[in-house]
Amino acid sequence: MKIIFQINGAEREIDAPPMKRLLDVLREDLRLTGAKEGCGEGECGACSVIVDGEVINSCLAPVCQMQGVSVLTVEGLSRDGWLDLLQQAFLECGAAQCGICTPGMLISARSLLDANLHPTRDEIKEAIAGNLCRCTGYIRIIDAIERAAEPG
Amino acid sequence: MAVGQNVLRKEGYEKLTGAARYVDDIALEGMLYGKTVRSAIPRGRIKSITFDPDYDWSRVVIADYRDIPGDNYVALIENDQPLLAETEIRHCEEPILLIAAESKHEAEIAARHINIEYEELPPLLTIEEALNCEEIIHGSGNVFKSFLIARGDVGEGFGQADHIITGEYHVPHQEQLYIETQGMIAIPAKDSMTVMGSMQCPYYIHKAVKQLFNLSDEQVIVIQTTTGGGFGGKEEYPSMIAAHAALLAHKAQRPVKMIYDRAEDIAATPKRHPGIIRHRTGVMSDGSLVANEIDILFDGGAYATLSSVVLSRGAIHSQGPYRCDNVRITARAVATNTPPNGAFRGFGAPQVTFAYEMQMEKIAAELGVDPLELRRINMLREGDITATGQRLTWSVGSEEVLNAAVERSGFIEKRRTISQNNSNGSKRRGIGLSFFFHGAGFTGSGEAKMKAQAGVEITPEGRARILSGSTEIGQGTRTIFCQIVADELGISYDDVEIEEPDTSRVPDSGPTVASRTCMVVGRVVQVAAREVGEKLLRFVAERFGKADAQLIEGWYTADGRRLAGFGETAREYIDLHGELRAYARYANPPGIEWDDDTYTGDAYPVFSYGADVAEVEVDMDTYEVTTLKITTAQDIGRAIHPVLAAGQIEGGTLQAVGYGLFEELVWDRGRVVNNRLTNYIIPTSLDAPEMETIIVEKEYPYGPFGAKGVGELPMDGAAPAIAAAIFNATGAFVTEIPITPERLLAALEDMSAPRASENTDHQ
């Protein structure tokens, strides 16, 4: 099945079985390996991407539903090799340890900040509740998202 | 200075942009996908293996034990675990066959066309069943290993005691649950084998693959890819996966990738040892401990693997950071027909810490002594002697951590007032504390035998490069090693780099385990850097005729004048001498002695200390427990990187919250039934308490810049602190974790606990 969609701002056309998971299309067909598989059943959030403004688990989304959509993955956050504010805040706060949850965590945080410029800590916790991290205890991830949301 | 600064993580950019390459992100030309066919029964014999004649077997490559050129075992301590079962099955999910196919899907299909018939034998599934000995599966009594630690005379101690208090504590399996599942890629060549993947210990795998094919050191190359969490779970089992991938690659003569899915990873790989720990403690009326008998039982699973060393660490830590002149500790690891248990952050200590801290709570309650006061009365201080007879001579931050956690949390005031707020409503609050310690580095003579090696070299560009087999698994190895070398050489952090862990390029620094990377290997790295620095200094002194030249802010300086920069000097040295590199090996500090036969002496060169205060809210309708806040103070000698160190403490503490409240494996006839993230529950951001972390720095004179171990200590304290807070909130003394609503309800229904089960009237 031919699918045409936007990935990180660029139009891409792929030919894949309709039920192939978006995660596999990203990782195998497009070689965008930032999104990870941690569980394959929508629990860990490591495969999170933004599709038309909504965070989804790309391990649960068949690619046939992606016709004409716009997908943002972690690779689409930095510009010309420069980290965006959120990535920079993650780096400075120590929000990434092993890094495997980081792409999904950044995506959920990006989506939150797109909708809510100044979230409270509770709103941040809620926004990343679907992204499991085993390293950090979440404290520094929440700190980083708070820092990225600070004005100026 | 780089040490003590929160410099940016060396591999941070790659991790934040999605550019970091984890093993599953790597695809090679002609690569096949490997799959493991596993046993469906916990104990028995393979009667037959049938390959469906209707399936086209030319589509796949199959390997079994007969394809192993070397010996059929995973190289570890006892070498008792086969790489592939021959006829005997000792646990569910034991590897029997390997399949390689063009796709994961094809390998799955092939597996469905294989039928294995078994002759089943009665399995031993629990510690109790193992000790009943109705079936014998190991040795004469189903015991892999036992230890005795004896100090003083417990009989005499109990004779003096005003009270004797007993307690029995149960601790569960725990799954490491790194978010990146296990995986390896093996790449065959004419006379060599390269394995890359997710791992903590490249040289463990190097040894395992060498013996698998009877290859030499140079013929096997092991490369660590970016690793998405380990927590001990990638200490020993990656050797198994690497050997499987290599065996398939060897047979297929093509690269083979094996990535476990979550279900296989949870079901088949090692977990934290479950255990039963009994205390019988003699106490004086003022609360001082005079005798302690401790019995430890750990379930080792079906093979010995690492159980002996997990048990050893558990036994040594089981008396806790408390003085007692008469101690008798017996410890056994038993064999059962369950998947082997293995390394998980803490390595035996979290189990015994739950037990000794709950025992302290029980003693305090029964004697009517304040639990904080009880800790203060008995805590180990500098000059005191541990259960193995080790005199603590340096870097003892016990009092500082307890005071810091108590003061910062407002423990005393909250403890006094909290009960007044609990009279109304269905929610009750409680506050509890724990006090604990953790020995860094290998136990006993381990480090002295290992003699970990690391090196530092100067690159042709005049930068320093670290050569070490220690791995970055998220904890910050790459960053802190570079900080240590930067400061030792006197150059900028940005001018230090670290070689990829690749056994053809870095020496064996020992495994990345046991809170040893910073304290032990970091020290070796520092010594190697010192040697490089001294060589350069001598070079400068000769060249400029300045014997008193010094390196100041990257410049060799004498008489207040800059002679030359570090980089250019290093480049000149290399032009002249070809290379500039130094290796160093670890040696214990002076006076450290350990006797393996009597289990006495200096079990670790130094201990780290911690104290946790947990505040909880218990819903008395649903019996759910919410951890509101944890205040933790940890003495780690020196924080090379305070943000990374705090990250270790916070992350470890949350894993311990999971251990105490949520994480439970459900077993059915030796098989894990909740092997999914849907039903094996780890803490989410909504379960994470507020945390306040206080780093206490009692410098250790033989650590790099004073640093001790930090990796495992945070895993020890939170579970008992939460259980103590629940006790404070509800009066329910829960002796088994995780404290699920069901267990709390059961304990509330049995509110007679705790009760002195034995009292002596001392004449």
Task: Give the residue from B179, B234, B472, B686 with the most A CB atoms within 10 Å of its CB, the best one to mutate.
Answer: B179
Q: How far apart are CA A95 and CA A141, in angstroms?
A: 5
State the pLDDT confidence band at A152, using cuts at 50, 70 and 90: low
Is there a single domain that holds both residue A23 and residue A49?
Answer: yes
Residue B20: list chain A partners with CB under 8 A.
99
Kindly tell me if the per-residue pLDDT of B759 is higher than 90. Answer: no
Is there a single domain that holds both residue A69 and residue A90?
Answer: no
At B633-664, the pLDDT tens digits run 999 999 999 999 999 999 999 999 999 999 99
Q: CA dist B165 to B204, B279, B433, Å? A: 44, 8, 20
Is there a single domain that holds both residue A60 and residue A118?
Answer: no
Domain count, chain A: 2
Is there a single domain that holds both residue A22 and residue A66?
Answer: yes
Is there a single domain that holds both residue A92 and residue A60?
Answer: no
Instruction: List, edge to edge, every strand of the sheet that includes B327-335.
Output: B143-151, B327-335, B289-301, B275-283, B163-171
What does the pLDDT read at residue B425? Answer: 80
Q: Which stretch of DSSP H or E encloses residue A86?
A: helix A85-93
Chain A residue whose CA is closest to B643: A94
B685/A142 touch (CB, cutoff 8 Å), yes or no: yes
Kindly tell me if the per-residue pLDDT of B258 is higher than 50. Answer: yes
| Identical fold between B12-121+182-259 and B452-585 | no
Is cis: bond before B53, omega within 30 of 0?
A: no
What does the pLDDT read at residue B423? Answer: 67
What does the pLDDT read at residue B762? Answer: 43
Decide which of A12, A40, A74 is a domain's last residue: A74
Pairing label, strands B594-595, B690-696: unpaired
Kindly tell me if the per-residue pLDDT of B254 is higher than 70. Answer: yes
What does the pLDDT read at residue B547? Answer: 92
Q: Which residue ranges make up each domain of chain B?
A: 12-121+182-259, 275-443+596-749, 452-585
Our measurement of the distance from residue B647's CA atom to the centroid of its chain's CA atoms, rounded to an integer in Å, reads 16
| CATH architecture of the domain with range B12-121+182-259 | Alpha-Beta Complex (3.90)
Is there a single domain that holds both residue A55 and residue A94?
Answer: no
CB < 8 Å from A in window 158-197 of B: 176-181
Chain B residue whose CA is closest to A138: B685
Is there a single domain that holds both residue A48 and residue A68?
Answer: yes
Q: How far apart are CA B272 and CA B307, in angstroms?
A: 10
Q: Which stretch of DSSP H or E encloses residue B196?
A: strand B193-197
First to last CA, chain A: 46
* Residue B679 at interface with chain A, using a CB cutoff of 8 Å: no
Looking at CATH, the fold of the domain delimited by B452-585 is given as Aldehyde Oxidoreductase; domain 4 (3.30.365)
The per-residue pLDDT of chain B, averaged, comes to: 96
Rounded to 5 degrees, φ, ψ at B396 are: -105, 100
CA distance B13 to chain A (A): 8
For B674, the token pair is 């909740």
For B489, the token pair is 């050489």
**Residues B517-534, mean pLDDT to the nearest whole number:** 98
Decide which of A15, A47, A74 is a domain's last residue: A74
What does the pLDDT read at residue A150? Answer: 79
Is there a single domain that holds both residue A137 and residue A112?
Answer: yes
Kindly tell me if the per-residue pLDDT of B753 is higher than 90. Answer: no
Helices B237-252 and B202-213, packing angle to 10 deg:
40
State the pLDDT confidence band at B760, using cuts at 50, 70 and 90: very low
**Which of B165, B164, B168, B281 is CA-nearest to residue B735?**
B168
3-state SS class at B2: coil
What does the pLDDT read at residue B756? Answer: 46
CB < 8 Å from A in window 221-260 of B: 226-231
Neighbours of A117 (CB within 10 A): 9
The total number of residues shown for chain A amounts to: 152
CA distance A89 to chain B (A): 10
State the pLDDT confidence band at B310, using cuts at 50, 70 and 90: very high
Q: How far apart are CA B143 and CA B140, in angstroms?
A: 8
- CB burial class (10 A; 0-12, 13-18, 19+) of residue B176? buried
CA distance A142 to chain B (A): 9
3-state SS class at A96: coil
At B539-596, the pLDDT tens digits run 999 999 999 999 988 899 999 999 999 999 999 999 999 999 999 999 999 999 999 9
Residue A97: list chain B partners with CB under 8 A.
229, 474-476, 647, 651
Q: How far apart are CA B608 and CA B695, in angstroms?
A: 11
**Which of B48, B43, B697 is CA-nearest to residue B397?**
B697
Is residue B13 within 8 Å of A78, Cβ to Cβ? no
At B486-503, the pLDDT tens digits run 999 999 999 999 999 999
Is residue B185 within 8 Å of B245, Cβ to Cβ? yes
Is there a single domain that holds both residue A63 and residue A99?
Answer: no
Kindly tell me if the per-residue pLDDT of B763 is higher than 80. Answer: no
- Which member of A41, A100, A138 has the closest CB to residue B180? A100
What does the pLDDT read at residue B419? Answer: 76
Least confident of B73-82, B371-380, B597-606, B735-744: B73-82
Residue A141: list chain B partners with CB under 8 A.
685
Q: For chain B, what percent of residues have pLDDT higher than 70?
A: 98
Is there a single domain that holds both residue A129 and residue A92?
Answer: yes
**Which of A84, A22, A85 is CA-nearest to residue A54?**
A22
Q: Say if A80 falls within a structural domain.
A: no
CA distance A8 to chain B (A): 13
User: What CATH number does the domain containing A112 carry?
Assistant: 1.10.150.120
Task: Give the residue from B5, B6, B11, B15 with the most A CB atoms within 10 Å of its CB, the best one to mutate.
Answer: B15
Q: How far apart are CA A65 and CA B138, in angstroms?
A: 55
Is residue B299 within 8 Å of B130, Cβ to Cβ? yes
Q: How far apart are CA A34 and CA A48, in angstroms?
A: 10
Q: How far apart are CA B479 and CA B3, in angstroms?
A: 10
State the pLDDT confidence band at A151, using cuts at 50, 70 and 90: low
Our measurement of the distance from residue B754's CA atom to the centroid of its chain's CA atoms, rounded to an integer in Å, reads 32
Q: CA dist B622 to B614, B615, B617, B680, Å? A: 20, 18, 12, 20
pTM of the model: 0.97
Helix and strand tally (H, E) in chain A? 5, 5
Is there a single domain that holds both residue A70 and residue A96?
Answer: no
Q: Is the dihedral of CA B726, B730, B736, B742 positive or negative?
A: negative
Domain that holds residue A145: 85-149
**Which of A77, A78, A79, A61 is CA-nearest to residue A69?**
A61
* Residue B13 at interface with chain A, using a CB cutoff of 8 Å: yes
Is residue B90 within 8 Å of B302, Cβ to Cβ? yes
Residue with tokens 């580095």, as numbered in its chain: B441
Please say whether the structural domain B275-443+596-749 has been given the CATH code 3.30.365.10. Answer: yes
Decide which of A21, A47, A74 is a domain's last residue: A74
At B324-339, the pLDDT tens digits run 999 999 999 999 999 9
Residue with tokens 């507020």, as numbered in its chain: B690
Kindly tell me if the per-residue pLDDT of B758 is higher than 50. Answer: no
Is residue B650 within 8 Å of B711, Cβ to Cβ? no
Q: Say if A79 falls within a structural domain.
A: no
Rounded to 5 degrees, φ, ψ at B381 are: -120, 170
- Which member of A77, A100, A142 has the closest CB to residue B179? A100
**Which of B686, B685, B684, B710 is CA-nearest to residue B696?**
B710
What does the pLDDT read at residue B420? Answer: 77
At B415-466, the pLDDT tens digits run 999 877 776 689 999 999 999 999 999 999 999 999 999 999 999 999 999 9
Helices B741-749 and B713-730, packing angle to 10 deg:
40
Rg (CA), chain A: 15
A135/B651 touch (CB, cutoff 8 Å), yes or no: yes
Neighbours of A90 (CB within 10 A): 29
- Which member of B654, B676, B685 has the closest CB to residue A128? B685
Is there a single domain that holds both residue A8 and residue A29?
Answer: yes
Q: For chain B, what percent of residues have pLDDT higher than 90?
A: 96
What is the predicted ipTM? 0.98
The total number of residues shown for chain B amounts to: 763
Kindly tell me if the per-residue pLDDT of B678 is higher than 80. Answer: yes
B327 or B761, greater pLDDT: B327
**Which of B258, B252, B268 is CA-nearest to residue B24?**
B258
